[in-house]
Structure 1
Amino acid sequence: MSYEMIAIFMFATMMAMLLTGQRVFGAIGFVAVVAALALWGDRGGYDIAFSSAMKLMKWYPLLTLPMFIFMGYVLSESRIADDLYRMFHVWMGGVQGGLAIGTIGLMVLISAMNGLSVAGMAIGATVALPELLKRNYDKRMVTGVIQAGSSLGILVPPSVVLVLYAMIARQPVGQLWLAGAIPGLMMATMFIFYIVIRCRLNPELGPVLSKEDRDLPLGEKLALLRAGLLPVGIFASMMVPFVNGWTSLVESSAIGALAAFAAAVLKGRMTREVFETSLRQTLGISCMFMWIILAALAFGAVFDGLGAVNAIRDLFTEQLGLSPWMILILMQLSFIIMGTFLDDTAMLVIVAPLYVPLVKVLGFDLVWYGVLYTITTQIAYMTPPFGYNLFLMRAMAPPEITLRDIYGSILPFVLVMVLALSLVMIFPQIALWLPETIYQN
């Protein structure tokens, strides 16, 4: 059997196992180990799996993963994030569509605290959505706002997905985070512009809050402002030393985790239940990601040994005559298709062994491609019929929001995201300017 057929057989077996409901890391790791043993025997096959495990254990930046996840869960479980939304509620309620705009701001800050889209979705659906519906905001628009805003969690630093991509693509995490910052803020700004324009054209979609809701004493407003800006201060205490080169990435993540813990203690909200829940969630998610990375590294090692990347490159460029840009667009489209039934980590570990080396061979920047992958994953999250965020929203939304409402809410936001993706593809410096500027200095 040729190496090309072996590679195709590996992918087919892996997809078949995933369709049976097997865990992602189990399916990928099983196929990788069995293929390694079949191709290179006991000695070579065991060496591939063992070297992948050692590579994972030696990757120092991986220590940031549990730190950032713990920080996000502490802020969420201690309700510090709720204070943030209360601040937006009071200070922006007088603007047409102000609460929807504030919800986007909340999602950006939650993303900067947690790095996972699930956390933003949970807080948005449980904290923001009931408040927006109670104040007669259009249910379709606000459902789309929460889904789109929560998707920023995998792009705005400290993105956990970009940490996984950095491990598999062997790229610096710090550069990837900086590369995702401007596109993430640009996309959030585009969402806000859309909300403002829609609410100006149709004020009933986002009515202004009543004077009674907004008319609070100045002292109480300032107290809310201080409480709401606390998460911003935690994020700044973590990122400013890192960007200025005073601390390493791992040290900054530890500062963020300690700052979140201290804030919860000082506010009297660090109960035993909060601490235990945060630790359990952190341990579970961190272990899941580590197993997935280990499986992806083993799978990628087998692919490297087969030389499958060069064979596929020759197929696209020589036999089919496609240009590098056409190949890149096809890869992005495949992410959108896979995203209708897989989550971001599954997509990454399934295709990274193939796509990442291919992108490098085609001459594209791997840091820039990491941002493209992440934006495309955001779009896939919200693409019917099986987009990940669609079903998360259905599970968390109140009964009056139907699946039809959820599907109908995402189209304008998907179009905004496609526009943002196109801009980053046409103008790579949107993503690359900040990391190049910081790391050259």
Structure 2
Amino acid sequence: MSLTLITLIVVFGFLLLMALGLPIAFCLISSSIIFGLFFWNANSLYVIGTTIYSVSSKEVFLAIPFFVFLAAVLERSGIAEDLYDMFYKWVGRLGGGLAIGAVLICTIIDAISGLGASGIVTIGPIALTEMFRRGYNKHMALGCITAGSALGPLIPPSVIMIIIAGFTNLSVGKLFAGGLVPGLLCSTGFIVYIVIQCLRKPEMGPPISEDVKITWEDRIKSLGSVFLPVVLIVFVMGSIYTGIATPTEGAAVGAFGALCCAAVNRKLTFHNLYLAGLSSVKVTCMVMWLLIGGSLFATLLNAIGVQDALSQILKGIERGYGSMAVLIIIMFIVFVMGMFIDGAAITVLSMPIFFPVVVSAGLDPLWFSVLFTINICMGYITPPFGMNLFYTKGIVSSAISMEDIYWSIVPYVAVMIIVLILMVVFPEIVLWLPNKLIQ
């Protein structure tokens, strides 16, 4: 059988299992086992077993449950509500102030949780209710929350970057540092867009009425709400960047810190702890099954020669058009995948295939990994199946359609594409901070 025919059979089998409604992780695992037995008989079971053990025993993946638990506790700690109250008092009187505050809060939540939808879950219901009550344009209100929450994989700590590190052996600390500046650029770009839109069309985000009394004493008192999240970020990221702690140890410190924050806010109840633990187990299991499935599927594709064939094709493109052409093609493929598949699934499916090609093309692996990650972020808000779009739909009334949510995020996707282009043109946006912080 030719390589093309074998590849088509494998891909068709995978898509058939997806069409039957099987979760992606189990589609990957089932396809790998079935076709492994078909092509190599029982000998494939040894490879399957060793691959599963290899993935499950990688130390870097130990950080994932801690960061997931950290995010789950924060959702119930009251920090997001306190932050929103602070930004409401400080920037609410500006045009688009509530939307700006929502983006800033989402950025802070992203910098603590490392997940792609924490901002929507924690601050979305409060912020959207307030913005709609104040007469905000629905696209402005929906877009700022949905897009602001998508930066979790880019702004450290990031679960996606931990997965990338597991497949590429890159330094987790360097990946975290590399994503920080692009993440802040995206957040700043969102705010600039909001300001420009509200200057052009004040009705998009009307300021809080002067009838609402907000004193300077209220504003100054509200600043206390920043203390806990800032301390948490400094402890987690500072310990990793300075080398005091490994990413796993830093994540454990963060999880303990989140419990302390919840206790300070009197939200550390047995019920909240149970819900946080249950949520953490579900998300961690999903991620680990994806990692196992993606590794098995990548091993299968490598064994039948797909990786080598793809590498040869991309090397031919590199020889004819240069390494940038290879990068653009890979970025386009990942962008399209993001429209239909979850970010973690894209990472485990494509990173083992694309990364060796990128290295052989002479591109900086850290730079490529951060470019890859911002593409994953765009996937969270790109129609038709961006995950954050459906999270937002789940917290709004039936009067808001999916079409409304789709249109609301278009400008924010454009901002992220601009940042991506800047990262390609000026690689130091990604590389400067890791080189300064981590030798």
Alignment TM-score, normalising by the size of structure 2: 0.94
Which residue matches 1:67? 66
Q: Quick one: which amino acid aligns to residue 170 of structure 1?
A: N
Cα distance, 1:214–1:331 mapped onto 2, change above 3 Å:
farther
Distance 1:107 1:411, change over 3 A: same
What letter is aligned with 1:85? Y
Contact 2:99 2:141 in 1 (8 A): yes
- Deviation of 1:61 after TM superposition, in Å, equals 1.8
- Whether 1:271 aligns to 2:269 is yes
Aligned partners of 2:307 and 2:88: how far apart in 1?
52
How many residues end up aligned between the 2 structures?
A: 438
Q: How far apart, CA to CA, are the structure 1 residues paired with 2:425 and 2:317?
A: 27
Amino acid at match of 1:242: I
Aligned to 2:250: 252
Decide which moves more: 202-211 or 104-113.
Answer: 202-211
Do the aligned partners of 1:296 and 1:349 also contact (CA within 8 Å) in 2? yes
Quote the residue 2:280 is aligned against: 282
SS of alignment partner, residue 157 of structure 1: coil
Q: Which residue number in structure 2 is paired with residue 156 of structure 1?
A: 155
Counterpart AA for 2:327: L
Residue 361 of structure 1 deviates from its aligned partner by 2.4
1:358 is the counterpart of 2:357: yes
Q: What SS class does the counterpart of residue 117 from structure 1 fall into? A: coil
Correspondence for 1:296 among 294, 297, 301: 294
Structure 1: 5+ residue runs without aligned partners? none
Any conservation in 1 of the 2:168–2:355 contact (CA below 8 Å)?
Answer: yes
Q: Give the SS at the match of 1:342.
A: coil
Cα deviations by residue, 1:134-164 (Å, 9 ceiling, x for unpaired): 1122111111111110111121111111122
Amino acid corresponding to residue 186 of structure 1 in structure 2: L
What displacement does 1:237 show? Answer: 1.6
Rounded to whole Å, the distance in 1 between the matches of 2:216 and 2:171 is: 48
Cα deviation, residue 229, structure 1:
3.1
Q: Give the CA deviation at 1:319.
A: 8.1
Q: Deviations over 1:236-272 (max 9, x none)?
A: 1211122122222211111111111012123221111
Give the CA deviation at 1:217.
Answer: 5.8
Cα deviations by residue, 1:4-58 (Å, 9 ceiling, x for unpaired): 5433432332223223221111111112223333333323x12222222222233
Q: What residue number does 1:32 align with?
A: 32
Amino acid of the structure 1 residue aligned with 2:89: V
- 2: CA distance, partners of 1:428 / 1:289: 30
On the 8 A contact 1:112/1:158 being kept in 2, the answer is: yes
Contact 1:36 1:48 survives alignment (8 Å): no
Task: State the match for 1:234 in structure 2.
Answer: 232
1:311 to 309, 312, 320: 309
Secondary structure (helix, strand or coil) at the match of 1:213 reads coil
CA distance in 2, matches of 1:353, 1:242: 25
CA-to-partner distance for each residue in 1:272-327, whole Å, 9 max, x for gaps? 11000000001111111111111112222233333422212223443895543223
Q: Is residue 76–residue 262 contact of structure 2 (8 Å, CA) maintained in 1?
A: no
Confirm or deny: 8 A CA contact 1:340 1:388 kept in the other structure: no
Alpha carbons 2:29, 2:293 under 8 Å: kept: yes
**Counterpart residue identity of residue 387, structure 1:** G
- The separation in 2 between residues aligned to 1:279 and 1:46, in whole angstroms, is 34
2:219 maps to what in 1? 221
**Does residue 1:429 correspond to 2:435, yes or no?**
no
Q: Which amino acid aligns with 2:24?
A: V
**5 Å matches for 1:200-219?**
200-216=199-215, 218=217
CA RMSD of aligned residues (A): 2.0
- Residues 144-153 or 220-229, more deviating: 220-229
d(CA) in 2 for partners of 1:21, 1:169: 31
The C-alpha deviation readout for 1:114-136, integer Å capped at 9, x for no partner, is 11122222224212111111112
1:22 lines up with 2:22 in the alignment? yes
Q: What residue number does 2:395 align with?
A: 396
C-alpha distance in 1, partners of 2:260/2:316?
59
Cα gap change, 1:65 to 1:233, in 2 (>3 Å): same
User: How far did 1:338 drift?
Assistant: 2.2
Q: CA offset at residue 388 of structure 1?
A: 2.8
SS in structure 1 of the partner of residue 212 of structure 2: helix
Given residue 23 of structure 1, which amino acid in structure 2 is its aligned partner?
P
**Once the two structures are aligned, what percentage of the paired residues are identical?**
32
SS at match of 1:273: helix
- Deviation of 1:422 (Å): 0.7
- The gaps in structure 2 that reach 5 residues or longer are none
